[in-house]
Amino acid sequence: MTPTDVLPAKSDGARPVRVRFAPSPTGSLHLGGARTAIYNWAFARACSGSFILRIDDTDPERSTPENIAQIISALQWLGIDWDEGPVAGGDYGPYFQTERAATYVQALETLRANGWAYRCFCTPAELALMREAARAKGGSSGYDGSCRALSEEQSQARADAGEPFVWRLKIPADHGPIAFDDAVCGHTEFPEDSVDDFVLVRSDGSPTYNFASIVDDATMAITHVIRGNDHVSNTPKQILVLEGLGAQIPTFAHLSMINGPDGKKLSKRHGSTGVEEYADKGYLPEALMNYLALLGWSLDGETTLIDADTLKTRFSLEHVAKRPANFDFAKLTWMNGEYLRAMETDQFAQLMVERLAREGLCPPDDFARRPDWYQALAPMVSERAKLLTDIAPITRFLFVDVVKPDETARAKVLDKDPELVQRALRATLEALEAVEIWDVAHIEAAMADLPDVVDAKPRLAYQPLRVAIAGSTVSLPLNESMELLGREKTLARIRTLLQTMPEA
Residue 231 or 314 with smaller CB distance to ligand GLU: 231
* Part in contact with ligand GLU (CB under 6 A); list of ranges 4-12, 22-30, 146-154, 274-282: 22-30
Catalytic residue among 268, 322, 404, 457: 268
Residue 34 or 447 with smaller CB distance to ligand GLU: 34
CA distance 104 to 216: 8
CA distance 198 to 145: 10
Please state the separation of Cα 427 from the chain's center in Å.
53
What DSSP character marks residue 299? S
What string of DSSP letters covers 63-90?
--HHHHHHHHHHHHHHT---SBBTTTB-
Per-residue interface string for the shown chain with ligand GLU, residues 383-422, x marking contact by CB under 6 A: ----------------------------------------
Residue 56 or 286 with smaller CB distance to ligand GLU: 56
Q: Which of 6, 18, 19, 24: binder of ligand GLU (CB under 6 A)? A: 24
* Part in contact with ligand GLU (CB under 6 A); list of ranges 21-29, 183-191, 306-314, 445-453: 21-29
Active site residue 264: no
At closest approach, how far in Å is the CB of 56 from ligand GLU? 3
Where in 199-228 is the site for ligand GLU (CB under 6 A)? 213, 227
At closest approach, how far in Å is the CB of 21 from ligand GLU? 7
At closest approach, how far in Å is the CB of 254 from ligand GLU? 10
* 231 is a site residue for ligand GLU (CB under 6 A): yes
Q: Name the region of 136 (left: φ>0; alpha: ψ -120 to 50; beta: rest).
A: alpha
Q: Which residues pair with 201 in a beta bridge?
A: 167, 207
Burial 14-38 (b: 16+ CB within 10 A, else e): ebebbbbbbbbbebbbbbbbbbbbb
In this chain, which residue has its C-beta nearest to ligand GLU? 56
Total residues interacting with ligand GLU, rule: CB under 6 A:
7
Q: Are 110 and 103 in contact (CB under 8 A)?
A: no
3-state secondary structure of 308: helix
Please state the separation of Cα 238 from the chain's center in Å.
27
CA distance 86 to 55: 8
Q: Are 267 and 30 in contact (CB under 8 A)?
A: no
Per-residue interface string for the shown chain with ligand GLU, residues 51-90, x marking contact by CB under 6 A: -----x----------------------------------
At closest approach, how far in Å is the CB of 241 from ligand GLU? 12
Active site residues: 268
Residues binding ligand GLU (CB under 6 A):
22-24, 56, 213, 227, 231
